[in-house]
Chains A and B, each alone.
Chain A
Amino acid sequence: MGQLSKKTFLFCSFIGLLLLLFCARGTKKKLSLRVVSLVPSITEVIFALGKESLLVGNTIYCDYPEGAKKIYKVGDFINPSLEKIVALRPDIVFLTLPAQKIIQEKLNTLKIKTFVSQPKDFETMLDEIKEIGRQLGAEKRACSLSHFLQEAKEKIRFPPIKVYIEISPQPIISIGKKSFLSDILEKQGLKNIFSDIEEEYPIIRIEDIIKRDPEVVLILHPLSRKEEVKKRLGLEKVKAVQSGQIIDEINPDLLLRPGPRIIEGLKMLHSILSSKPGHEK
């Protein structure tokens, strides 16, 4: 009999413990926001705002800062796992269009709140940072961050050099007028040789590069190096190649992700361009 009551006691306390745990989980859920980011640049913004504790999931491409790598991965950029996202019970999912239209539709069907990041230029990026700050309860920090970014950007003025920017070698893809990076570089004084093309990321023929004769080549992908570009047939006549002004040392993520690190990228580009032109052969 005594043993039985001991068993019942143990059983009851076990149930009680479970209940306690359950309640604790319930209250915790109410207290803090749960956020999933499907966009590497937004992940960077969330970290910059000091709200990484709210981030419960991101993608395998979210690799900066170091802490972002340790967060639970819900999949890749184009095809994240819906089940993994839903299992995290997010209050808000950050995504970008048009690349993530499919997953957006699905999240809408499940009535999960989404925030679409689609910065057209520097100003909309700053607005987005502020909006993200508002959503995550870091309004002040977002304001000061965007203020800081704005000021830092104003300080950087490029000389009016004709630059060719390559983001993929095969096929050759450059950036057009509507892309985020082209907009910033043009506003700060550089001349993007393909800024007359409306498309964001147009596919380019090598003839067009030769015809437009850039003074600087900026390589923003890890697939080819200076030496390889110099050897490309036809490019030897281009000013940039003749004067050796080919830049491949900038981490592409710095300039291509519309996040806080873009200032770093712009500063690097600025310092490279202002060191003696034609310095290397």
Chain B
Amino acid sequence: MRNNPSLLLFPLIAIIFLSLSLGPGGVRGEIIFKIRLPRVLLGIFAGGVLSFVGGVLQGLLENPLCDPYILGIASGATFGVSLSLLFGHVSYFFIPPFAFAFSLLSLFFVYTLAQVSGRIQKLSLILSGVLISFLFSSLSILAMTFSKQPLAQIIYLIMGNLSVLFSPLTLMSFLIVFIISLILLYFLFSYAQELNILSTGEEAAISVGIDTERLVRMVFIISSLLTGFVVSFVGSISFVGLVVPHIARALYGYDHRKILPASFLLGSSLLLISDIFARTTAPVELPLSVVTALFGVPFFFYRLRRL
């Protein structure tokens, strides 16, 4: 475990099997393939991508409190979801494209805002992310006020849930997104060494010839795209992207070449475990963000005490 993050695959596989076989419906082909399999796929995708991106951003912005939502992308996607609900569409056919279109819009806004005399600085990036977050959050609330859907239903959609059914069309689009995401993740991973150097200080990075401005720009765009994908499909599941990179760092030290893949595998595992809890413990299905936070907060606290 100490040196090779790929060993984390084994617990993940065990959790996948657990997740497929546990549930109120018992073990039945139809339930496993139509209901639990999509959940598991989305869980691996969302947990993995959010944690990976969280790890990258924490490294890049040298800020341990960064999560993928700090760039304002999630709020754009949330606005897309509320807007599609305003027009009465709740089907899985409409919501992800709508959400993604708006996450692209917020990406564009943040990108434009963050440019100070043609250059993107880390600080301006965070500030414009937060600003756009506020803008789109208030717009979402505005859209919800006018929407005829009950508020609880909207909150349920936005807070993040893996309860998704695939029709052949949505399955296809999900798989395409999944493959694109893997390519983008690989792309981000190729910056791991540069992130390592950058974490020793920006001057040091510049002195060994790293174009930090370009690095910030590329990482920002790719991370935003990835976060947009996730939020469009499952809503903004909180806490995974913040806490999992810290767990990875506790296990594997500070080398991003190890932390990032470990974050992916750990994130998937944590989200699947949370999902098992969310759907089996109570008579009602709990919102996923609630469960991830319940798992995440104690660990985060423990880490803080040891810093």
Contacts and interface: CB of A to CB of B under 8 A. Distances in A.
Interface of A: 60, 73, 75-76, 78-84, 86-87, 98-99, 101-102, 105-106, 109-110
A78 B90 contact: no
B165 A102 contact: no
Interface stretch (B29-37, B133-141, B257-265, B266-274): B29-37
Given A98-B149, A110-B165, A83 B35 contact: yes
Contacts of B156: 78-79, 102
B150 interface: yes
A222 B148 CA distance: 25
Nearest to B24: A84
Interface of B: 23-26, 28, 30-31, 34-36, 88, 90-92, 148-150, 152-153, 156-157, 161, 163, 165, 167, 279, 283-285
Contact of A105 (B28, B92, B149, B161): B92
Top 3 A-B residue pairs of the complex, sorted by shortest distance between their CB atoms: A87-B25, A76-B284, A83-B25
10 contacts: A73-B283, A75-B283, A81-B24, A83-B25, A84-B24, A84-B25, A98-B149, A101-B90, A102-B156, A110-B165
B150 A99 contact: yes
B25 A99 contact: no
Given A60-B284, A73-B283, A87-B31, 18 more contacts: A60-B283, A75-B285, A78-B152, A78-B153, A79-B284, A80-B284, A81-B24, A81-B163, A82-B35, A82-B163, A83-B24, A83-B25, A83-B279, A86-B35, A98-B149, A99-B150, A102-B153, A109-B165
Contacts of B167: 109
B153 A101 contact: yes
B90 to A, nearest CB: 5
Contacts of A81: 24, 163, 279, 284-285
A82 B279 CA distance: 10
Nearest to A106: B165
A60 to B, nearest CB: 6
B32 to A, nearest CB: 10
A176 to B, nearest CB: 13
Contacts of B92: 105
A31 B88 CA distance: 39
A25 B176 CA distance: 42
A151 to B, nearest CB: 34
A2 B170 CA distance: 60
A110 B34 contact: yes
A101 B149 contact: yes
B307 to A, nearest CB: 38
A87 B284 contact: no
A98 B35 CA distance: 23
Contacts of B26: 87
Contacts of B35: 82-83, 86
A79 B149 CA distance: 13
A102 B28 contact: no
Contacts of B88: 98
Contacts of A78: 150, 152-153, 156
A115 to B, nearest CB: 19
Contacts of B152: 78-79
Nearest to A77: B152
Contact of B24 (A76, A87, A101, A106): A87
Contacts of B24: 81, 83-84, 87
A212 to B, nearest CB: 23
Nearest to A60: B283
Nearest to B286: A79
A78 B151 CA distance: 10
Given A83-B25, A83-B35, A102 B283 contact: no
Nearest to A105: B91
Nearest to A101: B90
Q: Which of A80, A81, A101 has the most CB of B within 10 A?
A: A81
Given A101-B90, A102-B157, A87 B28 contact: yes
B148 to A, nearest CB: 6
A60 B284 CA distance: 8
Q: Which of A79, A86, A98, A106 has the most CB of B within 10 A?
A: A79
A152 B289 CA distance: 49
A102 B90 contact: yes
